[in-house]
Every structure is written in C-alpha cells, then in structure tokens.
Amino acid sequence: MRKIKAQLFISLDGVVEAPDQWHFPYFNEEMGAAVDTTLGRADTLLLGRRTYDSFAGAWPDREAAGGEDAPFAKVLGDARKIVVSHSRLDLTWRNSEQLTGELTEAVTALKNEPDTGTPVWISGSVSVVRRLVAAGLLDELNLLLHPVAVRSGLRLFDEDAPPVPLELVSAETFRTGVLNLFYALAAAPGEGTYEDARTHLPQH
C-alpha cells in the first residue's frame, strides 16, 4: 500500500497562498534539503490544477535551460503527475494524466497500488489536501512553518469546519527560524475542561 503525503509552505498565521510572495527570504540550504528529500525523490505527484499549471509553466523550461535547478526539474518531469480537476484538461508536460473519477475513491485506489518505496507527494494543492484530510486519507502532513504573519490570503484550514486532531511525528528548527514539522492524522483527544487542566497546574 502506498502512502499519501503533502508538503506545504505555511506562515505563522496559517496562510498557504502565494508562498512565492513571502517565503523566499527563508529558503536556505536546510529548506532546499527538506524539499529535495520529499518532492526531489518523488516518483508520483498528486496536484491540484492551479499547482500543476504553476509547475508546468516553470519547471520544463528550467529543465531545458540546464541551470542549477535542472536536475530537480528533471525529477519533477520524470515523475508521474496526477492532476485533480473538474474540467477536462490538455496536459502537455510529460508523464501527466488527469485523475479520473471521484477524488476520494481514486486516491483510495492509488493508495492500494503496490508500494514503490516512496510516497505519493502533494505539493500545495490546498483544496486537495483539505478533502483528503477530511476523508482520513492523508498519511502525513509536512508543514514548513515560516516565522512571518502574512496577514491575508488563503489559509490551510478553512473556517466553519470540524477540528482536525494531529499528532506531531517530528520537528526540526532551521537557522532561519522555519520549523520543519511532520504531522499524522490523530484520533480526537476526547473531552476536557478547565477543571481537568487545573490539576496539572503548580499547587501553591
């Protein structure tokens, strides 16, 4: 069975929209290594249409240009890319296909494919991540938490939705102050009140 994991750049106030507008000042070799060990080794990517369009509009040209990021661009180009969209798409980037059928059913089938040794990675694609979290189909959520409050923009978790309990799997602090956080979905923590909490306060 394959694992489904997602990686997102996120601000301190939960914004995940347009990270190209705020995250580059924090992109050092530590973050580069974090991205390389995830997307840089992926053989399958699951992408929303907007994220796919952004990738397809940049990475093929970077691969062709042969610059410093050409090897990473080639990995993305060689990977199987499954695109989620309600509209019929004309996909020109090599190894791209459109997801067929309902998302949760298709992802369940994808998880049931033989394990290749690497997970299926989602980059960005907030609407896809939200739906898979709600369906309990996301195995791990990698958040690169930036020490900046963006103040406006789409947030990862929308309002007026049930709480999402998470379990911290690992955490690493970069020199820039970015936190590299890995979470798994968790069971609800149960009921709790202030009276329960006060028993853990220092007694004077």
Residue 178 belongs to some domain of the structure: no
Please return the burial class of 70, using the count of CB atoms within 10 Å of its CB with bins 0-12, 13-18 and 19+.
middle
Torsion angle (degrees, nearest 10) of CA 182, 176, 174, 149: -20
Query: Which residues does 178 contact at the CB level (< 8 Å), separation at least 6?
Result: 26, 30, 31, 144, 145, 146, 147
Do 57 and 49 meet the contact criterion of CB atoms below 8 Å apart?
no
pLDDT of residue 159: 83
pLDDT of residue 82: 97
pLDDT of residue 202: 85
Residue 162 belongs to some domain of the structure: no
| Structural domain count, the chain | 1
* Containing structural domain, residue 103: 4-145
Residue 117 belongs to some domain of the structure: yes
Question: Averaged in consecutive runs of 10 residues, what is the pLDDT profile of the chain (204 residues)?
Answer: 96 95 96 94 95 94 94 96 92 95 95 92 95 95 97 90 92 98 91 84 81
Whichever domain contains 86, its CATH number is 3.40.430.10
Residue 159 belongs to some domain of the structure: no
pLDDT of residue 197: 85
pLDDT of residue 188: 82
